[in-house]
Amino acid sequence: MHTNATWLSFTRSDKWTEEQLTEAMVAASYAMNAFIPLFIRCDAQDMAVVPQVKATHNDLPTFFVYDRYPGGIGLSERVYDLWEPLIQRTLEHVAQCPCDSGCPACIGAQHDADQKVRVRTLLQQLQ
Protein backbone atom coordinates (compact mmCIF):
# COMPACT_ATOMS: atom_id res chain seq x y z
CA MET A 1 0.00 0.00 0.00
CA HIS A 2 1.29 3.46 -0.86
CA THR A 3 1.13 5.62 2.26
CA ASN A 4 3.09 8.08 4.42
CA ALA A 5 5.62 7.11 7.08
CA THR A 6 8.25 8.41 9.43
CA TRP A 7 11.10 6.41 10.85
CA LEU A 8 13.74 6.31 13.52
CA SER A 9 17.03 4.57 12.72
CA PHE A 10 19.78 3.83 15.19
CA THR A 11 23.17 2.15 15.34
CA ARG A 12 23.13 -1.47 16.38
CA SER A 13 25.09 -2.34 19.49
CA ASP A 14 27.48 -5.27 19.30
CA LYS A 15 25.95 -6.55 22.55
CA TRP A 16 22.79 -7.70 20.74
CA THR A 17 22.38 -10.82 18.67
CA GLU A 18 20.14 -10.37 15.67
CA GLU A 19 17.47 -12.49 17.36
CA GLN A 20 17.60 -10.47 20.58
CA LEU A 21 17.40 -7.19 18.69
CA THR A 22 14.52 -8.43 16.55
CA GLU A 23 12.52 -9.58 19.57
CA ALA A 24 13.25 -6.39 21.52
CA MET A 25 12.25 -4.21 18.57
CA VAL A 26 9.00 -6.14 18.04
CA ALA A 27 8.12 -5.81 21.72
CA ALA A 28 9.06 -2.11 21.79
CA SER A 29 6.93 -1.54 18.67
CA TYR A 30 3.99 -3.14 20.44
CA ALA A 31 4.41 -0.74 23.36
CA MET A 32 4.97 2.35 21.17
CA ASN A 33 1.91 1.58 19.10
CA ALA A 34 -0.21 1.84 22.25
CA PHE A 35 1.00 5.39 22.96
CA ILE A 36 1.01 7.03 19.53
CA PRO A 37 -2.77 7.64 19.62
CA LEU A 38 -2.36 9.50 22.91
CA PHE A 39 0.19 11.86 21.36
CA ILE A 40 -1.53 12.60 18.05
CA ARG A 41 -5.16 11.91 18.96
CA CYS A 42 -6.08 9.18 16.54
CA ASP A 43 -7.50 5.69 16.72
CA ALA A 44 -5.01 2.90 17.41
CA GLN A 45 -6.00 1.29 14.10
CA ASP A 46 -5.01 4.44 12.15
CA MET A 47 -1.28 3.82 12.64
CA ALA A 48 1.20 0.97 12.65
CA VAL A 49 4.73 0.61 14.04
CA VAL A 50 6.91 -1.77 12.06
CA PRO A 51 10.43 -2.67 13.17
CA GLN A 52 13.18 -3.73 10.79
CA VAL A 53 16.53 -4.91 12.12
CA LYS A 54 18.18 -3.97 8.82
CA ALA A 55 16.16 -1.40 6.88
CA THR A 56 16.59 -1.57 3.13
CA HIS A 57 17.30 2.15 2.73
CA ASN A 58 20.17 2.43 5.25
CA ASP A 59 21.01 -1.07 6.61
CA LEU A 60 20.31 0.15 10.18
CA PRO A 61 17.78 -1.00 12.76
CA THR A 62 14.72 1.16 12.14
CA PHE A 63 11.25 1.72 13.52
CA PHE A 64 8.75 2.77 10.86
CA VAL A 65 5.47 4.45 11.79
CA TYR A 66 3.01 4.60 8.94
CA ASP A 67 -0.54 5.66 8.24
CA ARG A 68 -2.86 2.74 7.58
CA TYR A 69 -4.67 4.68 4.86
CA PRO A 70 -3.93 4.58 1.14
CA GLY A 71 -1.95 7.69 0.28
CA GLY A 72 -1.62 8.54 3.97
CA ILE A 73 -3.50 11.22 5.88
CA GLY A 74 -0.58 12.93 7.59
CA LEU A 75 -0.65 11.15 10.95
CA SER A 76 2.85 9.69 10.68
CA GLU A 77 4.23 13.14 9.86
CA ARG A 78 3.06 14.31 13.27
CA VAL A 79 5.05 11.50 14.94
CA TYR A 80 8.28 12.82 13.41
CA ASP A 81 8.62 15.56 16.05
CA LEU A 82 7.40 13.29 18.86
CA TRP A 83 9.98 10.50 18.87
CA GLU A 84 11.71 11.70 22.05
CA PRO A 85 8.57 12.03 24.23
CA LEU A 86 7.09 8.87 22.69
CA ILE A 87 10.16 6.82 23.61
CA GLN A 88 10.32 8.37 27.07
CA ARG A 89 6.65 7.64 27.80
CA THR A 90 6.94 4.11 26.42
CA LEU A 91 10.01 3.45 28.59
CA GLU A 92 8.24 4.77 31.70
CA HIS A 93 5.24 2.56 31.05
CA VAL A 94 7.28 -0.59 30.43
CA ALA A 95 9.43 0.06 33.51
CA GLN A 96 6.40 0.64 35.75
CA CYS A 97 4.38 -2.34 34.57
CA PRO A 98 4.32 -4.85 37.45
CA CYS A 99 4.66 -7.92 35.21
CA ASP A 100 7.92 -9.88 35.25
CA SER A 101 8.57 -10.66 31.60
CA GLY A 102 5.94 -8.87 29.52
CA CYS A 103 2.18 -8.81 29.27
CA PRO A 104 -0.51 -7.44 26.93
CA ALA A 105 -0.50 -4.18 28.93
CA CYS A 106 3.15 -3.36 28.14
CA ILE A 107 5.24 -5.27 25.56
CA GLY A 108 2.92 -8.13 24.73
CA ALA A 109 2.99 -11.64 26.09
CA GLN A 110 6.58 -12.89 26.13
CA HIS A 111 8.13 -16.26 26.88
CA ASP A 112 11.64 -15.00 27.60
CA ALA A 113 12.03 -13.60 31.12
CA ASP A 114 14.84 -11.28 29.93
CA GLN A 115 12.75 -9.74 27.16
CA LYS A 116 11.32 -6.91 29.26
CA VAL A 117 14.83 -5.99 30.40
CA ARG A 118 16.03 -5.93 26.78
CA VAL A 119 13.14 -3.69 25.75
CA ARG A 120 13.93 -1.25 28.55
CA THR A 121 17.61 -1.29 27.56
CA LEU A 122 16.74 -0.64 23.92
CA LEU A 123 14.42 2.25 24.77
CA GLN A 124 17.05 3.76 27.06
CA GLN A 125 19.59 3.58 24.23
CA LEU A 126 17.16 5.41 21.93
CA GLN A 127 16.84 8.38 24.28
pLDDT band at 1 (very low <50, low <70, confident <90, very high): low
Contacts by residues 83-87 (CB-CB < 8 Å, ≥ 24 positions apart)? 83/8, 84/127, 85/39, 86/32, 86/35, 86/36, 86/39, 87/32, 87/123, 87/126, 87/127
Q: In what order do the strands lie in the sheet containing 62-67? A: 5-9, 62-67, 47-52
* Residue 103 φ/ψ region, left for φ over 0, alpha for ψ in the -120 to 50 degree band, beta for the rest: beta
What is the pTM for the complete model shown? 0.90
pLDDT tens-digit readout, 39-63: 889 888 888 999 999 999 899 999 9
Domain boundaries along the sequence of the chain: 5-126
